[in-house]
Chains A and B, each alone.
Chain A
Amino acid sequence: MEKTRTLFDLQRLYATDPIEADRLVFGRESDPVTRRGFLRNAGLSAMAVVLGGSVVFAKDMPAGLIPALLLEGGDEDLLAKLGKDKGLIVLNDKPFNIETPAHLLDDDVTPETRMFLRNNGLIPTAVDVNTWTLTIDGEAVERKVSFSLKDLKTKFSHHTYRLVLECGGNGRAEFDPPAEGNQWTVGAVQCAEWTGVRLRDLLEKAGVKKNAVYIGYYGTDTHLSGDQDKVVISRGVPMGKALEDETLIAFAMNGKDIPLAHGFPLRLVAGGWPASVSGKWLKRIAVRDKVHDGPKMTGDSYKVPIEPVEPGTEVPEEKLRIIESMPVKSLITYPKSGASLVPGQKLNVRGHAWAGDLAVKEMHVSIDFGTTWSKASLLPPHNRLAWQRWSAELTFPKNGYYEVWARATDSEGHSQPMVVPGWNAKGYLNNACHRIAVRVK
């Protein structure tokens, strides 16, 4: 089937030779002098089939023009198509990379509309729930097993957890020298409620051998190059993380089917680790006898220097380590930055704090650039690996410009730095304190 030959090839063809592309794709020939219209109506009906209607002004249509319908619209259109709040920020529309401003992350459970989106490839276009299977295989299983969606939903016990998924590159925009990639600021994080079966329960059916080291996922997204055989991204976690209670093969998010852009119909979810380990459109889990070596496990992807380096230093691959648990971090989700207060007005600030595999032990806020810190109230997580709600009431001593800074401390005593931490070429793990602007006048 050519079904999955998509816009990519169309664009490539038109970019190379638009006139020839017209002929090849639609059988179209235009007037050689005016380069408009359709000679002998060649190609007109083919184009009309694709467009689902007749081509108005066909005689005026320039040669080599990809019908606008087949191209993308603006950011607002895209957010609407994806069911996202219009306040989200489109960093990249091919592939989709969309972040959420901090003040739109105030919900305890992040709704789909306010959930950041990070895709490496193109979203699958055809998902047949009746034939979808998840296969567990690899060098380190006793037997290869496959499950239908129905098997997963009916033969295993269900578990629901709120889990923080944060992009490893959240905060990349602040690195100097700049780090390449999507320039996430603060909002590539979310805490949704995931329901599914434990990966551990499925692995038991396959029989994990003693030599198992790592699991690696495979999904059905399409590589940007259009190559159907090229794996877009295939990451994973060591067995220890794979066997945790909270590591799920999820089929529901926030009580409903997982949205297509977020992994429908199945997603591996491993909270507290870079969200890239939580593979979408999940078809297969390989249990490996070595550290998984799928695309974006190797090279410098999702890796940071083992030893801290001077900013801008080139670090060879053997001196990099794979990111595992994400570091302690917090956000101020209320109020939105830019709040103007009247003298004497109290300010109730609040937000969320999280700490990878750990819990957050303390939360502090400062209105004087870290000269003094006051302790905020902090709730325990809804479950392990969920973010924690914090809040504080602030008063300001006199009129002027302030910044409210927030700083979380994890259960092992690590706090967020006020400056951007250890430089790394790909711009991972920036957990510097979040801050908002406030003025009193």
Chain B
Amino acid sequence: MAELDEDRSPGHLRLLAERIGRNVNLLSGVTLLLGVLFVFLTVFPEVFQRVFVASAPEQAATDVGPIAVDEGIVNGIHVETGFIVDDNWEVVRGTCTACHSAKLVTQNRADREGWTKMIRWMQKTQKLWDLGDSEALILDYLAKNYAPQKKGRRARLTNIEWYDLTP
């Protein structure tokens, strides 16, 4: 089994960026661009029928977030990701969604120890990098907003949508 073998520090990331950058700026830029295009054409061909700029022109000029897309927040929930908006939520968003969906976070519940274990598991097996000072912030946010709820041995049925069953 492949072990954690590659430095994922920001420095490494910069090297990666520069590598990609060199590719783009020198000879294989077109390859990369066509590659991205190819990937999207393959996976989501119908996407190309849409115009992309929908959310772009209205964005604030000076305060563009880490991944500046739709910043809609409704009832304390960031609509696009589903994250609860609380201290450090953007650190969590920026870190966790680099690799996986926000849904993988928001559907889980754990105490601080449990969340720490998940981070360690991702570091050990999934190439998650050292989170540095962000780790404590991330754990604060997760342990507070996504803490376990008691379910017991069998929960009652909830959210029943009643409908008339025609005889």
List residues of B whose CB falls within 8 A of some A CB.
Answer: 1-2, 6, 8, 10, 13-14, 16-18, 20-21, 23-25, 28-40, 42-44, 46-48, 50-57, 59-62, 64, 66-70, 94, 97-101, 103-104, 107-110, 114, 117-118, 121, 125-128, 148-155, 157, 160-165, 167
B127, A230: Cβ atoms closer than 8 Å: yes
Q: Are A20 and B17 in contact (CB under 8 A)?
A: yes
For A181, the closest partner residue in chain B by CB is B108
Cross-chain contact A8 with B162 (CB below 8 angstroms): no
Residue of A56, A62, A71, A227 with most chain B CB atoms under a 10 A cut-off: A62
Q: For the complex, what is the distance from the CA of A13 to the CA of B69, rounded to whole Å?
A: 15
Does A337 make an interface contact (CB < 8 A)? Answer: yes
Give the Cβ gap from B130 to chain A, nearest Cβ, in Å.
Answer: 14
Residue of B nearest to A78 (CB): B44
Interface size of A in residues (CB-CB distance below 8 Å) = 102
Cross-interface CB contact of A338 among B29, B110, B155, B163, cutoff 8 Å: B163
Q: Are B48 and A13 in contact (CB under 8 A)?
A: no
Which of A131-139, A249-257, A294-302, A407-415 lies at the binding interface? A294-302
One of B64, B67, B109 near A63 (C-beta < 8 A): B64
Q: Chain A contacts of B70 at CB under 8 A?
A: 68
Main secondary structure of the interface of A (DSSP, over half): loop
A12 CA / B39 CA spacing, docked (Å): 17
- Asked if residues B64 and A180 are in contact (CB atoms below 8 Å), the reply is no
Could you tell me if A64 and B64 are in contact, using CB atoms closer than 8 angstroms? yes
Q: Mark A147-191, 1 if CB is under 8 A from B, else 0.
A: 000000000000000000000000000111110111100000000
7 A-B pairs besides A6-B36, A69-B50 with CB distance below 8 A are A21-B17, A51-B52, A55-B52, A61-B53, A73-B47, A92-B100, A337-B160
Residues of B within 8 A of A111 (CB): none
Which of B18, B67, B125 is packed against the most chain A CB atoms within 10 Å? B67
Q: Are B46 and A81 in contact (CB under 8 A)?
A: yes
Contact: B126 with A2, CB < 8 Å? no
- A284–B165 Cα distance when bound, in Å, is 50
**Neighbouring B residues of A63 by C-beta, 8 Å:** 64
Of A196-204, A315-323, A341-349, A379-387, which stretch is located at the interface? A341-349
A65 & B42 in contact (Cβ 8 Å cutoff): no
Closest to B58 in A: A60
| Cross-interface CB contact of A95 among B8, B47, B67, B100, cutoff 8 Å | B100
Q: State in angstroms the CA–CA spacing of A225 and B100 once bound together.
A: 9
Residue A210 is within 8 A (CB to CB) of chain B in the complex: no
Is there contact, CB below 8 Å, between B127 and A9?
Answer: no
